[in-house]
Structure formats: structure tokens, C-alpha cells
A and B are shown apart, each in its own frame.
Chain A
């Protein structure tokens, strides 16, 4: 029952207590890529809107997105998307109750990094080959 000591309860250890590990970096990167991707989606949505409303607008949007600077942003967004996709699948397995063993979590983390890079390179290659 709720007759509790409110003053000097022990705090659970927080982030700064632990030695940094790459699984922690992956965890925060999932969130950062998620927020960043909503900005990347603004660019893609703008591109689709110009495609719907007229050639003049499309020419400008397409030129911006295929410029060197726009291209770098798109490649960064693409990697962020592939990372978020792969790590999202890893999260879905956790949600279903699988893959919590330390070794498994480390290995799946490495697999996410590798897959996100391979998929990014593959799609950039498709894009350059196609146009």
C-alpha cells in the first residue's frame, strides 16, 4: 500500500553511468533517422506535388533534388531510410519477443549496419543506371 518514502529512494542508473556501446548508438540513431526522414519526406512530397501541377515546377524541383547538394541530401536520406527499415525490423522481432540474448542483439546490430549500407549502394546504383 501506498505509504511510501518519497524523499530518498534510490535512482536507477541513467545513461551516463554505463560504458557506451554501439547498440546504444544504434538505438538513438533509430530515433534521429526517424526525425530526419520526416524532413526528407518533405522534399520527396514537394517533388511529387510539382510532378502533379506542371512541367515548369517539376523541372525546378527535379533540378534541386538531382544537384550535387540535393543528391547528397537524398543519399543521406536513403541511408537513413534503409537504416530505419532494417533496425525497425530488428525492433519488430524484439516486440515479438525474439532476439534479446546479448550475442544476438550485438550480431543483429552489426547486420543492420551492413544491410543498410548494402541496400543504399544498391539503390543508388539502380538510380544512376536508370537515368
Chain B
């Protein structure tokens, strides 16, 4: 069960923030409202009238518009045609009535105080205007409630201000807005009310003026038992990786960090913090960056993942299905693909060695499976993840980057993966764990960097790490000086 007994009210002429950690149930709740998912029990009332939807179209018809993060506009059509996709205005001959569509668009823009030419191609708009166009489309369909799912994550400061301006205009016109965001500063700025979800329950709600960002951060984490940092004796060796002023135009800026042998460094943050892009760049999967990178003290540039692999860097990607497994290959091949070039003799794969190695790994990682020649997707999520881990362990990297290592893995397998990571670190491997789960970071890491919109917002370390501190940094706050 993702949601339990959640009752919320959205009033017209009000902007209401919906906040919560990743996996708290925000998306599920909004997807129910948006007609994407059905609910098991409960009811939705709009202006006191009971409604039921099973499709997004029905929900839209009832007046609820859901503005998704990935926008639903067609880049190669002008704005006014985008406004009428699927319900184009036609004249009596069935031809498109472009003049009418143009005028109606212009009317909406005037009503909303937006200075845009309806003839502009959507491709030429910046992200904020695209969002505005999408909101206008919702208004045109008489939406009374607009749900905005993290509308500001990919926007710059002036763009955010533009979207806020729009939201204020809507508010004045009596529209109810649900604003889903991780940025508590923005919540304070634009919202009147807040709702906090945690583990599928509504744990707090109230007026924004009565609370501080700190209170909100505490609500999001809850007062559940604090996870203690693992009190392990660390055996730190020499520095393995150091970054200085690592910068990529969109994704991350001015990143400086270092990792040593035997150390587990955590990197965390909320959606859109840029940590995956940062470490995929370290691994050579993306280029076009400025800044310096040092491996074992020597400056270098990594141009390809192949080079990174040979230098002893491993990267376990997030989103196993898209980035981790190769579905047309069997379990053994998925587990050995990384090490093929390392063990090969004149380009011929050393089959025996891979099989032997995997037989050991299978025992060590406790992978439950039938047969090494089975298709990879016959395995459970946790076991697939262990196979992806096994392929990197086969290459025996000096530096292992784990991006969401326990994504889509059940609790039992999670603990097993933690144990493996801790063991690797004891053997002297430098490990970087990227995770959005604060508990995971506290559980595993010796110290952790918290990222906020592509920059390192702060660092927490050792036994002093708390979920509160991490959440405060991840939402753009700062820690009190000690």
C-alpha cells in the first residue's frame, strides 16, 4: 500500500505545497487525481460533487490539469497549434481554423498577462515559457485545479520568477494550485498552505506562515528512529580520486571532492541535484566539462568508459533496466561483459575463467538463480542488481561508483548489498555511493556530500550525520555553525 487514509482539500485561489521525501507517495497521490492510477478506496469531490476517473482525459474534463515534469508539447508546431492538440478548431469544411485558434490563444495570453506571440515555434521557447504554455492550455480547458510536479527543477532563477508570476495570476483568478517541490525556500515564497506526506500518510498540514523551512524538513524526515552511522574502524589509505572545480554547463558546477582508499563517500541530494551526471562524467560517459581530475594524484582527462575501466574505475549505473542489464544476453554474459577485454587473449574471450569467477561470485553474493545461461530478466530485481554488481567486481576496480545501488531491491537484498559494499571497503577499495535515501547514506558512508542543484551544498560526516541535516542541505538550507 502506497497511500493510507490521505484526505486533502485544495481550495480555489490558493497555492498549496505538497512535499515529502522520494517515495513518500506524492506522485501516487497526484497520479490518482490526474486519472493515471486508480485508487483502491476513497472518493474525489470537485466543488462538492463526487467524481470518478479512470483516464487522464476524464480527469482533465472534470477540471484537474496535471502539468508533468516532462512537458507534453510538440516542438515543431507553433504555440497556438499546440494549445489545440487533439481538439483542433475546424471550419465547416473540416479545414483547420487557424485564425480562430490564433485568436483564442491570444485571448488567453492577454488574460494571463503573458507577452508571447502565439506564432512562435515551441522549439524556440525556453523551459519556463513551455511550462507557461502548458498551463495556459490547462486554463483554456477550464481547469479549476492545476497540479505542478516540480516545475522549477530545470529552470534558472529568472525563469522561476516568470513561472511564479504566472502562478500568482492564476491564484488571483481563483484557480487552485498544487505545487510539488523539493525546494523548501520556494515553498515559503509562493505557497500559502503545505501538506507533508511521509510513507504514504499525511503527517502534517498547515499554513506556511506558521512554520520555517527547518520545521518542514523535520516533518519530511519524521521522528522515526535515527539510524546510527556504522561505527566501523576505517583504514584509510592514499587518495584515489580528486576533483577540482569540476563544472558542466547545465548539470553541475564547481565540484571539488576527494576519495581515499578504504573510504565510503556518500553523495546525496534530491531530484535534479546533478550527482548522476557528475559521476557519469568521471566515468567517461559524458564529456564537455571544465575542471581538473586526479587519479592517484596524477592529473588526467577521461574520454571514454573504456579508458575509465582500464584505469580501474567502475560505475554501477542507476536505472538497472535502461543502463545496467543487456536483455538479449544471458546471466553469465551480463556478469562478465566488463571483464571480457581484461581477460581476453588476442580478442578471444576466456570463457573458462569467466565461468569459474562467476561461480565464486554467485556463492559470495548469494545470487539466487537457475542457470547461468538463462536470460537475465528471468531473475528477480535484487538478483539482477547483484549480477550488475558482479560484473564490476569482476574487473576489480580501485574506485567503485555505485549509483542508487539498492534501487528496486527488496529489504533483504538491500542488507546483503550493504554488507558487500562494507566488505569491499575493508579490502581497501575506494567507494562512492550515490543515493537519494538519507538512511542509506548514514548507514553506509563515512562522510557524505549533499548536493543541491548541481552544487555541493554541504558536507556531513561520521556519527554526527543525521537525516535532518541532510534534508536541510538537500532543500537548499545551510547547517548552523558548530
Do A and B truly interact? Answer: no
Binding site for A on B (CB under 8 A): none
